């Protein structure tokens, strides 16, 4: 741990720094990922950020470092298992451990099933499901060796209910919940597992909707939304609990929304 950023004037590590964790965040270039990076870095954690848009990551890391926080990034495609493994390996080489992996990367190109947008279905499966599996496969052995760790998997209210145009998206988020619960049951005692399920949240997630009817429906649906910082707060809450407390599921919705 770097003494210039994590010790007080007397040279003794303060309590805030002692709680510092190495937190890896996928999909960190915008939205929930970026908000989480800002909040956790400001809280004294060492964040290691991954996404495909390195220009945004560079700007975000520059902002955090200029504020005196510990942050670094690496280009990451969560659909590539080898790339996710390298992401985790580099973070471990830099910081010596991996305490938390926030599996946040996700896509949401909604459409009716009859539109047969099969390439979009494949993309959602690759990012939303395989991306989480790749993260687990890369980080779980590291956490086992070091004697503990924490997975925070970002699902959705779509992991609890299905709506028109969202069948495939919801299926991927149901899968994230199932994978998380299985991992929790298999890892009781040393690995914590949290599912955070956002309701409508201010983000770029809906920007990739190509189907015109689904795009308009989502614009209407997203008229009431919580800021990405609200989801970051939930993630920080779960991470900040004592080691013997495992917050398994958090659902965060706009208070004005019935769904």
Listed in sequence order, the residues at least 6 apart from 186 whose beta carbon sits closer than 8 Å to its beta carbon are: none
Rounded to whole angstroms, how far apart are CA atoms 86 and 74?
9
Rounded to whole angstroms, how far apart are CA atoms 28 and 37?
7
Report how far apart, in Å, the C-alpha atoms of 194 and of each of 15, 147, 241 are.
25, 18, 11
The two structure tokens encoding residue 47: 């964040």
How would you write 203-226 as a 3-class SS string? CCHHHHCCCHHHHHHHHHHCCCCE
The two structure tokens encoding residue 245: 């407390």
Rounded to whole angstroms, how far apart are CA atoms 132 and 38?
22
Query: Which residue is catalytic, options 73, 160, 169, 237?
Result: 169
Concerning whether 160 is annotated as a catalytic residue, the answer is no
Listed in sequence order, the residues at least 6 apart from 126 whose beta carbon sits closer than 8 Å to its beta carbon are: 79
Contact in structure between 71 and 37 (CB atoms under 8 Å): yes
The two structure tokens encoding residue 203: 């983000």
Nearest to 28 by CA among 78, 97, 95: 78
Active site residues: 169
């Amino acid at each position: 741990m770097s003494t210039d950023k994590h010790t007080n004037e007397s040279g003794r590590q303060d309590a805030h720094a002692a709680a510092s964790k190495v937190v890896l965040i996928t999909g960190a270039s915008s939205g929930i990922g970026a908000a989480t990076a800002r909040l956790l870095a400001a809280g004294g954690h060492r964040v290691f950020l991954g996404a495909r848009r390195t220009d945004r990551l560079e700007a975000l890391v520059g902002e955090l470092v200029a504020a005196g926080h510990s942050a670094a990034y690496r280009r990451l495609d969560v659909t590539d298992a080898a790339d996710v493994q390298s992401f985790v390996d580099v973070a471990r080489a830099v910081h010596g451990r991996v305490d938390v992996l926030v599996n946040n990367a996700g896509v949401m190109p909604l459409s009716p099933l009859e539109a047969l947008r099969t390439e979009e279905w494949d993309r959602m499966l690759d990012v939303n499901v395989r991306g989480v599996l790749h993260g687990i496969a890369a980080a779980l052995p590291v956490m086992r060796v070091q004697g503990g760790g924490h997975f925070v998997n970002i699902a959705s209210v779509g992991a609890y209910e299905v709506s028109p145009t969202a069948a495939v998206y919801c299926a991927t988020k149901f899968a994230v919940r199932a994978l998380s619960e299985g991992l929790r049951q298999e890892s009781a005692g040393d690995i914590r597992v949290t599912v955070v399920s956002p309701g409508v949240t201010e983000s770029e997630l809906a920007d990739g909707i190509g189907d015109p009817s689904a795009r308009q429906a989502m614009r209407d649906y997203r008229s009431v939304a919580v800021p990405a910082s609200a989801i970051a707060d939930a993630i920080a809450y779960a991470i900040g609990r004592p080691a013997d407390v495992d917050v398994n599921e958090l659902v965060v919705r706009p208070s004005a929304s019935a769904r």
